[in-house]
Structure 1
Amino acid sequence: MNEHIQLMIDWIEDHLKNEFSLDKLSNYMGYSPYYCSFKFHQVTGISIRRYVLLRRLYLSTKDLANDRKIIDIAFDYEYSSQEAYSRAFKAIFGINPREFQLHQMPVQSFVKLTINKEEECCRMNISRKKEVEQLQNEKNELFDKDVLNILNGQVMYEEFKDKKLMGDSDYVPFNEAMCVNATTKQVFNEEFIKTRALGHHVSLEDYIKKVIDPLDNLFNKEYKCIVLWFGEDMFCQMNLLTILAYLEQWGYDGKVFLNSFREDEFKVSQTELKLGNFFSVYNEVLVNHERPSNELLPVMYQAIDIYLDLLKENNAVVKYISKNKDLPTSELMNRLFDLFPTIGYGDSQYLELINRNR
């Protein structure tokens, strides 16, 4: 069956710039429209129409980045008008196409699905060194001693620190998973530490050792610039939101840069951030579980959509697990990693969901 789903995906990809027709897809596959829709959703966890929508809009960001006329892009992807395309674009990315074209902000990737990948791309592959060298050519001041790099997780931190990828600057890891468990209005205070430790089922001492102590430079040294290295998936973006909320809470007044990237490659999108609204967004989203009232970078806007959806009892991941609960745990986890890369969950988050929904 997976081979048939891959054939569907390949056909859809070949026809993204044509008017989508479920009947034509079903004729190509030799199955009824209902069967194609049902099986596609069962295997991929997403509907065919949603897949087409997200792929078209993601691909259109590349056309926008190349400064093509918005009306031409709209018609290329079978929208009836520029207005219809702009509405769909804003619903997914939180900004309109013209704003994106002007400011070239990072978005969350939605790449072609590949069922049953035989080889996983190596995370943080060798291209990272070349990418960092290019960043140094563009902004050499980010490699100075009075710059702090905050990296999402211990593994990335150790790579960057050991190889001094960012020159003489300092490095700290943020070893958290803010997309799960309760949090508090203030970041990194005593209540925060107690609440997060309780949610992770660890002692206060262990939490402080793993999460708080490694951030010592952030708490005790002053820097003219802070560079945030966070992936574009939801997991990383909720960690990023927490760090930005802390910087505002602390009253940091230096420069802040976000280096955003996809987890299966290392193509960095660098954006200078202006602090001002992240603390309120943190409280709206991670504390109160509400939609934010402020405009955000598209990549964070998309991540918040995913985060809030995962809070629902019968979300897409839970549905997928329920439909495939007879699979061995290892195979089910591999499928979840492949099919939901924009979530960014790790082994422990998926294992908890699998155990809870079997």
Structure 2
Amino acid sequence: MNEYIQLMIDWLEDNLKDNFSLERLAGYMGYSPYYCSFKFHQATGISIRRYILLRRLYLSTEDLANDQKIIDIAFEYRYSSQEAYSRAFKTVFGVTPREFQLNQMPVQSFDKLTIYQGGGFRMNHNREREVERLKHKKGELFDQDVLNIFNGQVMYEEFKRGGLMGNSDYAPFNEAMCVHPTTATIFDNAFIQTRASGHHDSVENYRNKVIKPLHNLFEENYNYIVLWFGEDMFCQMNLLTILAYLEQSQYKGKVFLNSFREDEFKVSQTELTLGSYHSIYKEVLVHHKKPAGELLPVMYQAIELFLEMQTENNTVVKYISKNKHLPKSELLERLFEVFPTIGYGDTQYMELINKTK
């Protein structure tokens, strides 16, 4: 069945810029339109039309970055008008194509699906080359008055061990803010107790794992803070928490986001302006409401996913329910591949599997 789904994906990719016909796909596959549609959704967690929509819009960001005319892009990807393309683009990314073109903001990637090759964090062999590119671009971020905060222990250890960021300091944020309750004030005793309880951990263990590694953030003054966070929902909710804390602590220096995909290491660097992240944090992570303020597209997309995951019958739960006949190990592997933009780890997915199966 995996090979069958991959054949469908390959056909869709070859015909992305054509008018889509489910009947034509079904004729190519030799099955009924209903069967193709059902099996695709069962294997990928989304409908065929949703897959086409997200792929077309993501590919169009490359054309926008290359300064192609928006109306030409709209017609190339089979939209009836520039206005229809702009509406779809803003619904997914939270900004208009023109705003994206002017500001070159990071977005969540939506690449061609490749069925079931295993998941997890992988940093490719070009990381030193990419860091060197960043150093030529902004060398002051490699000095002593800089703190680099990484999403998790693994990346922190790789960078610190290799001294990749020159004379700057390093700290990991070892959390999963996309699950369990939190509090409006960040990193105080109530926050620590609430988060430890959610993770079924002791306060002491939580302090040792999450709070103590951030001591430089709490105790030192830095002119620059560089935040290394992936574009998936898991990382973006962690990023939102750190940005909210910087506002809470009235940090006055400059903040840079180094955003990257988990399966490669090509960094998009953006200088961020503090001012509204704490209110967004409270709206999203505390109250589970959609924020009113403007956001980077990558965080906008992540918040949409986060709020979707708060619903009882969310996309992941539906996928688990449809595939509950699979062994847990295989189902876990599939979840990593099918939902890369969510970014859950083993622990989060196993909680859902055990709850759903």
Name the TM-score, length of structure 1 as normaliser.
0.99
Partner SS state of residue 201, structure 1: coil
Moved over 2 A (4+): 119-122
Paired position in structure 2 for 1:8: 8
Paired position in structure 2 for 1:158: 157
What root-mean-square deviation, in Å, do the aligned CA atoms of Structure 1 and Structure 2 show? Answer: 0.9
CA deviations on 1:311-341 (whole Å, 9 max, x unpaired) are 1111111011111112111111000000100
Paired position in structure 1 for 2:29: 29
> In the TM superposition, what is the alpha-carbon distance from 1:43 to its structure 2 partner?
1.0
Partner SS state of residue 124, structure 2: coil
Paired position in structure 2 for 1:261: 260
Paired position in structure 1 for 2:169: 170
Q: Where do residues 199-278 of structure 1 align in structure 2 (5 Å cutoff)?
A: 199-278=198-277
CA gap of 1:233–1:121, structure 2 versus 1, over 3 A, is closer
Contact residue 92 and residue 301 of structure 2 kept, 8 A: yes
Paired position in structure 2 for 1:45: 45
State the AA in 2 paired with 1:323. K
Q: Where do residues 61-210 of structure 1 align in structure 2 (5 Å cutoff)?
A: 61-117=61-117, 123-210=122-209
> In the TM superposition, what is the alpha-carbon distance from 1:125 to its structure 2 partner?
1.5
State the AA in 1 paired with 2:61. T
Partner SS state of residue 204, structure 2: helix
Partner Cα distance (2:325, 2:78) in 1? 40
State the AA in 2 paired with 1:168. N
Paired position in structure 1 for 2:340: 341
Partner Cα distance (2:27, 2:201) in 1? 55
> In the TM superposition, what is the alpha-carbon distance from 1:40 to its structure 2 partner?
0.5
CA gap of 1:342–1:120, structure 2 versus 1, over 3 A, is closer
Contact residue 120 and residue 336 of structure 2 kept, 8 A: no
Partner Cα distance (1:221, 1:245) in 2? 18
Partner Cα distance (1:221, 1:177) in 2? 24
Partner SS state of residue 274, structure 2: coil
State the AA in 1 paired with 2:187. F
Paired position in structure 2 for 1:316: 315
CA deviations on 1:291-315 (whole Å, 9 max, x unpaired) are 0110000000000000000111111
Paired position in structure 2 for 1:305: 304
Partner SS state of residue 176, structure 1: coil
Partner Cα distance (2:108, 2:286) in 1? 23
Partner SS state of residue 239, structure 2: helix
Name the TM-score, length of structure 2 as normaliser.
0.99
Q: Is 1:20 equivalent to 2:24 in the alignment?
A: no
Q: Give unpaired runs (5+ residues) of structure 2.
A: none
State the AA in 1 paired with 2:338. L
Partner SS state of residue 236, structure 1: helix
Q: Number of residues paired by the alignment?
A: 357
| Identity across the alignment (%) | 73
Partner Cα distance (2:185, 2:67) in 1? 42
Partner SS state of residue 263, structure 1: coil
CA deviations on 1:202-226 (whole Å, 9 max, x unpaired) are 1110000000000000000000000
Partner Cα distance (1:315, 1:174) in 2? 27
Partner SS state of residue 243, structure 2: helix
Partner SS state of residue 149, structure 1: strand
